[in-house]
């Protein structure tokens, strides 16, 4: 029973690692990790493979040139050949990036069963490329492994059969709980000169936030105000660094005394940094989940979220891009009035085991039918 996992960017490793480990407990299951190569430099990809102890053999397709309009097509072409060679009985895709969509598309065309981990999430904002990827992937996949009740309801509302939907919980939480103790032993906070609970973390990478000069400049001004209130660290995604340089904004940030710019971090260092922070500002979906688990107030720099449970139950607040709204929310947290939240149901560290069981039981039944 050969299972091929398709990954492309760093969040995919965080989500796939516990599933790979859970599937290793089943005899007769062979796993291969196919990396499309969207993030293949050591800081953005390989370090996650090493830190999360993923032992599964990996095939690197090196599709290259991430982010341009032809990316999905190149990944589809590369996966087509890879699937012909590997001949999987099942393809597992995670998240909502171009590799996710490409994996589901090629699997459907080749009539290979496909499982989508983190299915059913919706922001209801189709201007986001990720939203299109989520919708199409869910309608192509055979197994929809969801993290929360709202995801189930979204799929049912789109006419997807209840039999295909399996709520397993949040696999990001599994990885966090498995690695939190190790992360807290890392010296990253001290090495940056910070004290626990007395600094903030920011991340920016969404095209809608960094690809337009006027938007990014306004965000830089807001970061400038924040670093005057509390020390702030901003690990720079390669896309963000390039845009800052293109728009002549990089030097403005480096001149801010209370702002520390760093290179992209590995999973353990960034988890350690987040876990000891006072608050997080981000346009990342995964950080909304991680901060909810850690009890850290999170301010999401977007107008919507595909993870509403982090708002209704967790520590997340959608603040958008309005500078006044962001400043007010930061001030609220610094006064001690930030959201504390609760842990959503099934965010218990067992999601990957439930996902693995669903996948294996489905394949056992599928292979028995074909046999």
Distance between CA atoms of 220 and 279, rounded to whole angstroms? 18
Backbone phi and psi for residue 330, each to the nearest 5 degrees, phi listed first:
-60, -45
What string of DSSP letters covers 118-181? TTT---S-TTSHHHHHHHHHHHH-SEEEESSHHHHHHHHHTT--GGGEEE---HHHHHHHHHHH
Let me know if 205 is a catalytic residue: yes
Distances (CA, A) of 240 to 192, 216, 235, 253: 21, 9, 10, 12
Give the three-class secondary structure for 364.
Answer: helix
C-alpha distance across the termini of the chain, in Å = 13
Work out whether strand 200-203 and strand 30-35 pair parallel, antiparallel, or are unpaired.
unpaired
- Which one from 5, 166, 205, 237 is the annotated catalytic residue? 205
Distance between CA atoms of 296 and 283, rounded to whole angstroms? 15
Distance between CA atoms of 284 and 288, rounded to whole angstroms? 7
Among all residues, which ones are annotated catalytic?
A: 205
């Amino acid at each position: 029973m050969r299972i091929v996992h398709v990954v492309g960017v760093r969040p995919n490793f965080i989500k796939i690692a516990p599933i790979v480990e859970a599937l290793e407990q089943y005899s007769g299951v062979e796993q291969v990790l196919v990396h499309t190569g969207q993030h293949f430099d050591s800081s953005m990809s390989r370090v996650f493979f090493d830190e999360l102890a993923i032992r599964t053999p990996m095939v690197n397709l090196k599709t290259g040139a991430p982010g341009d309009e032809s990316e999905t097509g190149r990944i589809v072409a590369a996966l087509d050949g890879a699937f012909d060679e590997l001949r999987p009985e099942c393809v597992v895709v995670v998240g909502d990036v171009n590799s996710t969509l490409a994996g589901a598309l090629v699997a459907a065309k080749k009539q290979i069963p496909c499982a989508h981990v983190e299915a059913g999430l919706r922001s209801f904002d189709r201007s986001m490329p990720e939203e299109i990827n989520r919708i199409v992937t869910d309608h192509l996949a055979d197994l929809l492994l969801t993290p929360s009740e709202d995801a189930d309801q979204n799929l049912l509302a789109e006419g997807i059969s209840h039999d295909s939907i399996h709520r397993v919980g949040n696999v990001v939480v599994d990885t966090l709980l498995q690695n939190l103790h190790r992360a807290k032993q890392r010296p990253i906070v001290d090495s940056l000169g910070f004290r626990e609970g007395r600094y903030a973390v920011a991340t920016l990478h969404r095209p809608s936030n960094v690809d337009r000069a006027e938007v990014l400049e306004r965000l830089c001004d807001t970061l400038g105000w924040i670093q005057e209130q509390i020390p702030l660290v901003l690990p720079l995604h390669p896309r963000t660094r390039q845009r800052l340089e293109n728009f002549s904004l990089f030097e403005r940030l480096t001149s801010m005394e209370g702002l520390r710019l760093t290179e992209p971090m590995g999973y353990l260092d960034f988890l350690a940094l987040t876990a000891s922070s006072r608050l997080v500002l981000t346009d990342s979906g995964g950080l909304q989940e991680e901060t909810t688990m850690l009890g850290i107030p999170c301010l999401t720099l977007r107008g919507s979220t595909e993870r509403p449970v982090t708002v209704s139950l967790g520590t997340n607040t959608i603040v958008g891009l309005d500078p006044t709204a962001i400043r007010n929310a930061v001030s609220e947290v610094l006064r001690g009035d930030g959201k504390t939240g609760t842990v959503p149901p099934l965010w218990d560290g067992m999601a990957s085991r439930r996902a693995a069981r669903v996948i294996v039981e489905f394949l056992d039944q599928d292979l028995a039918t074909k046999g």
